Amino acid sequence: MSEFDAVLSRCDAVVDTGTVLRYLSRAELRWKLASGRWQHLDRAIIVAQTGPLTDAQMLRAALLWGGPRAALGGLTAARLDGLSGFAGHKPAATPPVYLILPPGRNARSRLPGIDVAVHYSRMLGPEDVHPAKEPRRTRIARSLLDAAQWMPSATGAMAVLAAGVQQGLVRVEGLVAVAARMGRIRRGEIIAGALADIAGGAQALSELDFTRLVVRCHRLPEPERQVARTDNRGRRRWIDVYWDEQKLMAEIDGAQHMDPSEYWDDMERDNSMTISGYRVLRFPAWLVRQKPAYVAAEIRRGLRLDAAG
């Protein structure tokens, strides 16, 4: 294998024009392109093959397009480090490539054939970008926090953080430390609450917090909390918040409910309780924190509907 072949192998056959011209003459490069053996993505990026690009080649091309300080980030970087279960924000066969650029990099032009979602950050040093991994990308804790910021919904933000911890890619303490270093971030309160729920620490939303934020502030009937009820199969089931007379129960889903096995167990319990004559309302913990009035209104509707029976 020649030195140039080794370069192409390391770079998934995606190289910049300057690199090619260290090994080939301009005439040789023009012939490769004109003959269809190679293809131009833009004036500075060459793919030393024909046909559609692989996923790996799209990532390489995006990094070349972004410049020497660019880094893959968010879901793109997290998937490279093992995150599963997230295809991206768009319901498309190929998710966008999430790319972080330093401020001042002009990204108004587009990279033909590749959907690049560009974000800007001054934090692209060794603490945030892994110094050795290829292709160049942010470290996993930073990747997950960025993905949470860029998710289209708060539920998605909570889910991606929970998935990273549950899949063993990062410890919640690592996420908390990086979030603190990043300072003010989008959805900061929701992310902080989600991390507390994942850790199950003192700041996790409890049934007492639910009562304080929703029930007493909005003058709802006082419920029972953490009570056991028997389902239609005779099994004891624990209920977060319960109004006995109206047979209405409310469940508060923390980030741990993103785990598929726990989620099914909760659904099975809810189904059994519904069959037994109870009605179930479910709210994510972040919604209780951020929109307690909405949660209270939904519970009030449930209580009235049940009373109207």
112-166 confidence digits (pLDDT tens) = 889 999 999 999 999 999 999 999 999 999 999 999 999 988 878 888 888 898 8
DSSP tag of 211: I
The average pLDDT across 245-259 equals 72
Residue 74 has pLDDT above 90, yes or no: yes
Look at residues 149, 155, 154 and name the one whose alpha carbon lies nearest to residue 258: 155
The average pLDDT across 173-196 equals 89
What confidence score (pLDDT) does residue 169 get?
Answer: 94
Angle between helices 188-199 and 172-182 (to 10 degrees): 160
Token couple for 294: 């909405």
Strands (E), the chain: 14-16, 39-42, 45-47, 71-72, 97-101, 116-120, 224-230, 236-243, 248-253, 279-284
Instruction: Report strand pairing: 248-253 vs 279-284.
Output: parallel
Cα→Cα distances 274→5, 229, 271, Å: 65, 12, 5
203-218 confidence digits (pLDDT tens) = 456 666 777 788 888 8
Q: Which domains does the chain have, with CATH numbers?
A: 1-51 (no CATH), 52-199 (no CATH), 207-308 (3.40.960)
| Helix ranges restricted to H, 35-71 | 55-66
Global pTM reads: 0.72
Percent share of the chain, pLDDT over 90: 44
What confidence score (pLDDT) does residue 306 get?
Answer: 41
